[in-house]
Homo-oligomer: A and B are copies of this chain.
Amino acid sequence: MRNCFVPEGLSLLRIFPIFVIIFICSNMINLSSDYNNGMHPEVLDAFVHTNDEISLTYGADRWSVSARQRIREACQDPEAEIYFLVGGTQTNATVIHSLMNSFQGVIAVESGHINTHEAGAIERTGHKVIALPSSEGGKLSVSVLENYLDAFFADSNYEHCVIPGMVYITFPTELGALYTRKEISEIYEVCKARELVLYVDGARLGYGMTADGSDIDLPWLSRHCDVFYIGGTKVGAICGEAIVFTHGNAPKYFFSYTKQQGALLAKGRLPGIQFETLFTDGLYFKIARHANEMAYKMRDIFISKGYRIAYESPTNQQFFLIPDSRMNWFKSNLIFDEWGHDCHGNTICRFVTSWATTEADLQALSEVI
């Protein structure tokens, strides 16, 4: 788990010969993301062992069929309809567009992924992201939501504005925080009262569901939202997200929607075999739980070294305040993300674990920080 850090992004790669970069990178612990690795070994194994088989295409292959069935069972939702796409932004744009009318917008917190880091993919499909203030941990508070909706529909000119059509939340949030059952239930009640779709972005769903203190599982979530996705890319797959339209909520011709969005894989077997494996013997949740446990240990190491937590997170993303005076040292020895600054001379830094994080990595970490 050592690798290179390229501060100026892609452009550097155009300038420096590769070997220089590799040299620079050779002794660093990489905690920058949960998608800097390959397939989980068990997933890889299944992938390799089915590679020679000839299959149906476009998601009709036997692994995709089986994976859908396993997910339906895991959700205890026999009517759920499952589609496999290959990335979070693609999934968000396709799902959101498929369930809204042109005149509708999607409500999200300001820090929501669709509002910040998707290069305008939602707007590209014609819809406004209606950004509401984030509450603690990057969550959408039900009172913020209700106040917005009450004020919106109280305005006699509201038909001149973007009509809200959907509420988008992430579980866990971009800051690793979790909604409780009570919170999601309340949001869902508001959605139903206002005829809004509730969509849960589960790019890191597994980490949320296996976190200490979490009371959300798949069957419960399936009954408390209209659509969500089970993120695979960040939880053991090389790529793949499983969209779950719960209990009869799939739009007609969603298959054609995915094709139109360029989101349909010819060799649908790629996500199929991965999700079939992830949903065999609970592998998906085992992977997530492992990363969470590594994260808790990592947190203990930081705390024991005197660093303070920036945002409380029970999941695989951990945020610490690193004194600016230590940043050069950190950057020379670790790969991680900077998220901003506080007002007291600290940088907010994110450190992420995954299936590939080992005890040895943590040991090495504790030695350099």
Contacts and interface: CB of A to CB of B under 8 A. Distances in A.
Interface residues of A, number: 96
Copies of this chain in the oligomer: 4
A3 B116 CA distance: 45
Interface of A: 1-4, 6-10, 13, 18, 21-22, 30, 32-33, 35-39, 41, 44, 48, 50-60, 62, 65-66, 86-94, 97-98, 101-103, 105, 116-121, 123-129, 131, 156-157, 159-163, 233-234, 238-239, 251-253, 255-257, 259-267, 269-270, 356
Contact of A35 (B87, B94, B266): B266
B256 A163 contact: yes
Given A128-B120, A267-B233, A267-B238, A44 B37 contact: no
A338 to B, nearest CB: 9
B44 A117 contact: no
Given A87-B265, A260-B102, A161 B116 contact: yes
A177 to B, nearest CB: 21
Nearest to A22: B62
A56 B239 CA distance: 15
Nearest to A7: B156
Contacts of A124: 102, 126, 260-261
A352 to B, nearest CB: 11
A3 B53 contact: yes
A52 to B, nearest CB: 7
Nearest to A85: B262
A148 to B, nearest CB: 13
B123 A54 contact: no
Given A13-B60, A60-B13, A119 B238 contact: no
Given A36-B55, A103-B253, A118 B260 contact: yes
Contacts of A92: 262
Given A86-B265, A87-B262, 12 more contacts: A8-B156, A10-B60, A18-B62, A18-B66, A30-B54, A35-B266, A36-B55, A37-B52, A44-B48, A97-B102, A121-B262, A160-B259
Given A62-B22, A270-B239, A159 B35 contact: no
Output the residue of A33, A56, A98, A356 with the most chain B CB within 10 A. A56
Contacts of A87: 262, 264-266
Nearest to A69: B18
